[in-house]
């Protein structure tokens, strides 16, 4: 059961994006998918902060008209991915669509998950019958290479950069309906994941589409690390630990209060720890933080600012998104922090502060941005980029090596 929970958490990271939404607006008197489609985009045109920042009204309307041609004959899943494609054209990662309930209640999950390390995709979760192939390099699904599938998947993942695609890719392609929509497989066609070993031998792994009940009872195996470093655990919203006599590590995984440990109490704990040792360096980990309320962390920051003069390093990565990026920039402004890791999944100057549209003909909720945030004036890059770029290899992951933390410990004064 723990493996199943881990599987669901890993392939559902997108849910973290909607943690700061405002009160929903319900679309009323919808009778057909076509009317639903029209109402969605009429609402977006009226209430999105700038729907046409990256696409013209004419270009988007042309795409909408193509969907309308057979929209009422679409299955719910086909309609879902059609709307998702249209929203992807807006190029605002916050403007997206989700199911009202579990996605597994409406689509068929495939029992696998993959992750990118440097330039290769590796299997991280498989049906227990194929656990011998965990960690193998991914080559293709059926006859289509994983790189070609990656490019196709970009059309149904709202994003502002490839870093967000990297972290969202696995959670997109492990649904049968997504692969059908993208043209990777045909309906009712057998789905086979091909992997290769170190000798480049190709190995087929059949993937059986599973409904919600089957997913719950599936026996899944995941990569077991030789050592599981505490710096990579995300079981708590925030935590801290002493790395050595000079360095304190603080991890902040979601911009929200922990109901079991309010931020004011956590701040007191960290303050007491700082008082016990003559710390010189603080590592602040935002690599798993996909957003929420950017103000939650301020009591901790204010305390650290008053307590001493520390060399500050902030860890970022492709899961760092929305308010997580805001807090990374806060550390730069307050502590002159160096950013270590990989580019963030979200952009610096972009859209957010969500509201939503609940549809009636289908079990979807459309989220859209109502505000533009200019966090760094004149910044025109697609991600917040690190000062020191550190990528993790699969071997590092397997052996429990945290390369970002290792770099800081080896290079801090």
Question: What is the spatial distance between Cα 59 and Cα 68, in angstroms, rounded to a whole number?
Answer: 15
The pTM for the full model equals: 0.89
Q: For the chain, what percent of residues have pLDDT higher than 70?
A: 92
Please determine, for residue 21, whether its predicted confidence score (pLDDT) is greater than 50: no
Q: Are 41 and 314 in contact (CB under 8 A)?
A: no
Task: Tokens 């692969």: give the residue.
Answer: 179
- pLDDT band of residue 16 (cuts 50, 70, 90) is very low
Question: What is the spatial distance between Cα 357 and Cα 355, in angstroms, rounded to a whole number?
Answer: 7
Query: What is the reported pLDDT for 228?
Result: 79
Q: Which domains does the chain have, with CATH numbers?
A: 230-350+376-411 (3.90.226.10)
Query: What is the reported pLDDT for 235?
Result: 82
Please determine, for residue 203, whether its predicted confidence score (pLDDT) is greater than 50: yes
Please determine, for residue 23, whether its predicted confidence score (pLDDT) is greater than 60: no
- Phi, psi torsion values for 385, nearest 5 degrees: -95, 145
Query: What are the CA-CA distances from residue 59 to residues 44, 52, 63, 162 (Å)?
Result: 15, 10, 7, 23
3-state DSSP call for residue 84? helix
Query: What are the CA-CA distances from residue 265 to residues 233, 238, 262, 271, 334 (Å)?
Result: 21, 12, 5, 10, 21
Q: For 247-283, what is each residue's pLDDT tens digit?
A: 999 999 999 999 999 999 999 999 999 999 999 999 9
- Mean local confidence (pLDDT), 170-181: 98
Query: What is the reported pLDDT for 29?
Result: 53
- Please name which of 294, 296, 298, 287 lies closest in space to residue 353, comparing C-alpha atoms: 294
Please determine, for residue 360, whether its predicted confidence score (pLDDT) is greater than 90: no
Mean pLDDT of the chain: 92
Cα 67 to chain centroid, rounded: 27
Please determine, for residue 76, whether its predicted confidence score (pLDDT) is greater than 80: yes
Q: For 95-121, what is each residue's pLDDT tens digit?
A: 999 999 999 999 999 999 999 998 799
């Amino acid at each position: 059961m723990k493996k199943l929970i881990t599987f669901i958490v890993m392939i559902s990271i997108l849910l973290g994006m909607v943690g700061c939404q405002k009160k929903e607006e319900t679309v009323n008197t919808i009778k057909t998918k076509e009317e639903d489609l029209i109402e969605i985009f009429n609402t977006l045109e009226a209430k999105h902060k700038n729907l046409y920042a990256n696409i013209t009204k004419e270009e988007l309307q042309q795409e909408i008209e193509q969907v309308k041609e057979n929209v009422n004959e679409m299955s719910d899943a086909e309609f879902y991915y059609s709307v998702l494609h249209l929203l992807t054209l807006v190029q605002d990662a916050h403007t997206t669509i989700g199911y009202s309930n579990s996605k597994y209640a409406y689509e068929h999950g495939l029992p696998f998950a993959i992750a990118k390390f440097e330039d290769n995709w590796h299997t991280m979760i498989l049906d227990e019958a194929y656990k011998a192939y965990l960690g193998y390099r991914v080559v293709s699904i059926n006859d289509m290479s994983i790189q070609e599938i990656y490019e196709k998947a970009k059309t149904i993942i709202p994003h502002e950069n490839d870093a967000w695609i990297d972290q969202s890719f696995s959670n997109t392609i492990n649904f049968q309906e997504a692969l059908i929509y993208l043209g990777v497989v045909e309906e009712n066609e057998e789905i086979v994941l091909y992997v290769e070993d170190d000798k480049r031998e190709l190995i087929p792994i059949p993937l059986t589409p599973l409904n919600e009940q089957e997913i719950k009872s599936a026996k899944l195996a995941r990569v077991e690390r030789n050592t599981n470093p505490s710096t990579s655990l995300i079981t708590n919203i925030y935590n801290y630990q002493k790395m050595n006599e000079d360095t304190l590590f603080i991890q902040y995984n979601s911009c929200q209060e922990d109901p079991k440990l309010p931020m004011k109490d956590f701040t007191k704990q960290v303050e007491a720890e700082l008082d016990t040792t003559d710390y010189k360096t603080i590592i602040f980990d935002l690599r798993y933080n996909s957003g929420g309320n950017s103000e939650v962390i301020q009591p901790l920051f204010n305390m650290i600012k008053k307590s001493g003069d520390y060399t500050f390093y902030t860890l970022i990565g492709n899961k760092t998104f929305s308010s997580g990026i805001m807090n990374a920039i806060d550390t730069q402004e307050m502590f002159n922090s160096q950013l270590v890791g990989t580019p963030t999944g979200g952009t610096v100057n972009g859209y957010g502060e969500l509201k939503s549209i609940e549809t009636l003909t289908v079990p979807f909720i459309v989220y859209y941005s109502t505000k533009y945030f200019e966090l760094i004036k004149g910044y025109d890059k697609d991600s917040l980029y690190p000062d020191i770029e550190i990528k993790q290899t699969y071997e590092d992951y397997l052996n429990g090596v945290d390369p970002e933390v290792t770099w800081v410990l080896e290079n801090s004064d």
